[in-house]
């Protein structure tokens, strides 16, 4: 595992989930706003006691300062780092387990709210890992953690230097690549079984041309309204539930 700089997890859902699921050594400090509801404060204190963590009661303006006035809901955790998985090791692990994983590759998603929402849907649909580029894209941040409502702790995320090279390498390992585009096969016909990677493009530009050339098939979401585009996280959600339907049919 590799890490980035110290950051914060904030918000009640994300904070409580982090306290429940992560090791104590990953949490530097707990900031709890003075005057929060008693039942919520008791829940935080119980979780902190189990991990032998100290809580610092602080005024709201202190928590506002730590989170740049984001909606922290009275709870902020100072954490050691957000962690990324090593893609090589993860793929080796899948092979050893005889697994046919489903991976999601995000081509330069820049909005951390979109990334957080996507991770939330990944957790809901059983995505095995997410691949993002190291440059010109949102990484794992406190905003992503808050938006994901805790999913950031359960979905492995790998950062790579070059998406095209990573795609070629994964193809050699037996993965099939499907990318979203304005023209292509109707997504409702998509069979997402086997070793599969879905590629979602940038919010404004879509999938970069060099990466698009590597796709085994392009998929499109038909639209009959006046607006011919969807938010990146919404489009990803549509595609992931088609994947879920393909892999877990009702009959």
**One domain for residues 108 and 188:** yes
**One domain for residues 70 and 88:** no
Q: Report the predicted TM-score, pTM, of the whole model to 2 decimal places.
A: 0.77
**One domain for residues 119 and 231:** yes
User: What is the mean pLDDT of each successive set of 10 residues along the chain, which is 251 residues long?
Assistant: 59 91 87 93 94 92 90 90 90 96 96 94 98 90 85 93 97 97 94 97 92 97 86 95 95 77
Q: How far is the C-alpha of 178 from the C-alpha of 184, rounded, in Å?
A: 10
* Tokens 């499907």 sit on residue: 178
pLDDT value of position 1? 31
**One domain for residues 39 and 121:** no
**One domain for residues 66 and 28:** yes
63, 79, 95: which is the final residue of a domain?
Answer: 79
Three-class DSSP category at 170: helix
pLDDT value of position 22? 86
Range of the domain at 74: 2-79
pLDDT value of position 6? 57
202: left (phi over 0), alpha (psi -120 to 50) or beta: beta
Give the count of domains, the chain.
Answer: 2
**One domain for residues 50 and 124:** no
**One domain for residues 65 and 165:** no
Instruction: Tell me the CA distances in angstroms from 119 to 51, 112, 131, 135, one per residue in order.
Output: 26, 10, 11, 19
**One domain for residues 146 and 241:** yes
What CATH number did the domain enclosing 13 receive?
Answer: 3.30.1330.30
CB contact at 8 A, 130 and 248: no
CB contact at 8 A, 170 and 199: no
pLDDT value of position 5? 45
């Amino acid at each position: 595992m590799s890490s980035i700089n110290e950051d914060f997890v904030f918000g009640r859902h994300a904070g409580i989930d982090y306290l429940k699921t992560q090791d104590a050594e990953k949490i530097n400090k707990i900031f709890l706003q003075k005057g929060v509801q008693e039942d919520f404060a008791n829940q935080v204190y119980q979780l902190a006691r189990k991990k032998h963590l100290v809580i610092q009661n602080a005024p709201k303006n202190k928590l506002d300062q730590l989170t740049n006035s984001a909606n922290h809901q009275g709870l902020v955790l100072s954490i050691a780092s957000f962690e990324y998985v090593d893609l090589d090791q993860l793929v080796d692990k899948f092979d050893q387990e005889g697994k046919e994983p489903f991976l999601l590759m995000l081509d330069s998603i820049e909005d951390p709210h979109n990334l957080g929402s996507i991770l939330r849907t990944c957790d809901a649909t059983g995505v095995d890992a997410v691949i993002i580029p190291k440059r010109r894209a949102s990484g794992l941040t406190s905003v992503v953690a808050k938006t994901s409502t805790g999913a950031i702790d359960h979905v492995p995320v790998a950062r790579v230097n070059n998406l095209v090279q990573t795609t070629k390498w994964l193809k050699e390992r037996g993965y099939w690549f499907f990318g979203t585009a304005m023209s292509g096969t109707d997504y409702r016909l998509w069979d997402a079984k086997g070793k599969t990677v879905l590629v979602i493009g940038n919010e404004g530009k879509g999938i970069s041309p060099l990466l698009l050339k590597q796709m085994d098939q392009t998929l499109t979401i038909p639209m009959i309204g006046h607006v011919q585009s969807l938010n990146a996280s919404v489009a990803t959600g549509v595609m992931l539930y088609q994947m879920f339907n393909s892999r877990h049919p009702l009959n």
